[in-house]
Amino acid sequence: MVSINDVAKKAGVAKSTVSKVLNNYSLVSDETRSKVEKAVEELGYVPNSVAVSLSKKVFNRVGLIVDIRHNSQFVDEISMQYLTGAFEKAKEYHIEVVTFFSSQFDEMNYKQVTAYLKSQRINCLIIYNLSIENKNLYKIIEKQEFYCVLVDSPITNDRTSSVSLDHYSAQYEVAKKTLQENSYIDRVLYIAGGAGGYITNRRLDAMKKLQEEFGFELIVKHGDFNEYKAREITLKFGKKSNAIVCASDLMAIGAVFALTEMDIYRPVCGFDGIRLMGYTKIAMNTVKQNFNLKSKQAFDELKKLLDGEKGQHTEIPYEVCTINYMDVIQK
């Protein structure tokens, strides 16, 4: 078996330096880090903690990777539902979980991310809302070095499954409901999420379908799931629009407060079904997602992968509903 001493000898560095590289210490030069990583790869070295787990056939440590950079609502309600669902399932399956934020890997390259996760004895990943910016995570999925389940990303392979709702149908239904409840809609402002993302593109396709059916002018602006950006967009384009469709409840809240500032009314709908939406005291249509259930389903799909099944896509149900203040206050 290859040892850390073998890696140190091949790289021409001290054993302690190899350890620092494997544990992603920052005080290592790029040149030295590159030598060590090359030696690790060429020798096929596996750190002792990982080797022990593998030899005992223990496959029970899951990394939960959450992306919170572009959406402050993930810091509270949605992220807590995701994590609660994952923790409940982990307890049921007797699987240990470790939570990571995707921003932790920003300064690492693909090999460093992989080495770091393996040093933490992670062999399975559940990745929530994979961003197009996370190139390293995409490569990890492509290389199939871990069992992966992606929440709200469509990628599947032999060792990767995905879980999501039908974003096209859900966006179509909630927007159509809002348009039909209001007369004379000839110009719709659609505040989309982040440009280029899978979810954004599917929901935008739904809005274009509605445009074909209803014949309205469609104004598309990207709010990046950000309340402040949605407010600014609405202040600029809200007056000229008859209705505002938002790709998240948080952006819908920003749009409503912008309309209030301008002292005008426009029908607004959102997407997600978060409780915070009810506190605007304005009833709004939305797509209610069960984030807890989605996370539990992701764990079920992970268990199937560990049991030898190939990756697959699974859809989660959703509900188009109206949220108002009385729906969210505690009795």
* 194-203: average pLDDT: 88
Beta strands in the chain (DSSP E): 61-66, 96-101, 124-128, 147-151, 160-164, 187-192, 217-222, 243-246, 268-269, 284-288, 313-315, 319-323
pLDDT at 136 over 60: yes
- Tell me the β-bridge partners of 217: 187
Of residues 105 and 241, the one with the higher pLDDT is 241
Identify the top-confidence range among 53-62, 104-113, 250-259.
Answer: 250-259
In angstroms, what CA-CA distances link 42 with 6, 35, 36? 11, 11, 10
Give 15-26+49-164+293-313's CATH code, choosing from 3.40.50.2300, 3.40.50.1100, 3.90.1150.10, 3.40.309.10: 3.40.50.2300
pTM for the complete prediction? 0.80
Closest CA to 59 of 88, 94, 32, 26: 94
| pLDDT grade for 74, boundaries at 50, 70 and 90 | very low
Under 8 Å between Cβ of 167 and 205: no
Q: Which residue has the tokens 């764990």?
A: 299
Half-sphere CA count of 257, side-chain side, radius 13 A? 14
* 169-174: average pLDDT: 98
Q: What is the DSSP letter of 271?
A: S
Closest CA to 230 of 174, 278, 186, 269: 269
* 37-54: average pLDDT: 69
Percent composition of the chain: helix, strand, coil (DSSP 3-state, to 5): 50, 20, 30
CA–CA dist 66, 267 (Å, integer): 32
Phi, psi dihedrals of residue 110, rounded to the nearest 5°: -55, -45
Sheet architecture: strand order including 61-66 = 96-101, 61-66, 124-128, 147-151, 160-164, 313-315
Q: Give the architecture-level CATH label for domain 167-288.
A: 3-Layer(aba) Sandwich (3.40)
Q: Which amino acid, residue 227?
A: E
* 278-300: average pLDDT: 93
Residues of the chain with CATH 3.40.50.2300: 15-26+49-164+293-313, 167-288
Phi, psi dihedrals of residue 121, rounded to the nearest 5°: 60, 35
Residue 184 Rama label (left phi>0; alpha psi -120 to 50; beta): left
In angstroms, what CA-CA distances link 281 with 38, 55, 284, 323? 59, 58, 9, 9
Phi, psi dihedrals of residue 299, rounded to the nearest 5°: -65, -40
Closest CA to 319 of 273, 288, 294, 293: 288
**11-25, 60-74, 175-189: which range is least confident on average?**
60-74
Q: How is residue 215 written in tokens?
A: 């014949």
| pLDDT grade for 126, boundaries at 50, 70 and 90 | very high
